Amino acid sequence: MTDQTATHQAENTVKQGFAAGASIAAAVLLMTVGILQLFQGISAVAKDTVLVVGPEYTYQFNVTTWGWIHIVVGILIALTGLALLSGATWARVTAIVLAALSIIANFLWLPYYPLWSILIIALDVVVIWAVTTWDNDRY
């Protein structure tokens, strides 16, 4: 019984160490995602010719509207990343909520710019995992 407990604690320590490192990375990733979303928004507001709109898209907004959505979400995410890096407790919950909103926004943004949307969705999933798995009380 003792061997099982020690093995479980060792596995948990390794998991928590990885999650702690990933949580710091999550803060940096949040700031990166925020900056990328900000650039997406600026590009959309400036009516960049790289953006393409599908004709039969259910959630179709005008590109300028999507641009402003990405600018606001990007700024909020970047600021939350800074707060998460400083260790603010409220930033963990805010990071999860904003990363989830970012996933939704980028899912809806897929027809406009699929490569960046998929990249940001993947980064948001890593951020959510890192923030939810890290146990701050252990360190």
pLDDT tens-digit series, residues 61-99: 677 888 888 899 999 999 999 998 887 889 889 999 999
* Domain assignment of residue 34, yes or no: yes
* Domain assignment of residue 82, yes or no: yes
Give pLDDT tens digits for 12-55.
Answer: 665 566 656 766 777 888 898 899 889 888 888 886 555 455 56
The pLDDT value given to residue 64? 80
pLDDT band at 126 (very low <50, low <70, confident <90, very high): confident
* Domain assignment of residue 1, yes or no: no
Range of 65's domain?
14-48+60-138
b/e map 88-112, b = 16+ CB within 10 Å: eeebbebbbebbeebbebbebbbbb
* Domain assignment of residue 85, yes or no: yes
Half-sphere exposure of 30 (CA within 13 A, CB side): 35
Number of domains present in the structure of the chain: 1
Q: Taking CA 121 as the corner, what is the angle to CA 128 and CA 81, rounded to the nearest 5 degrees?
A: 50
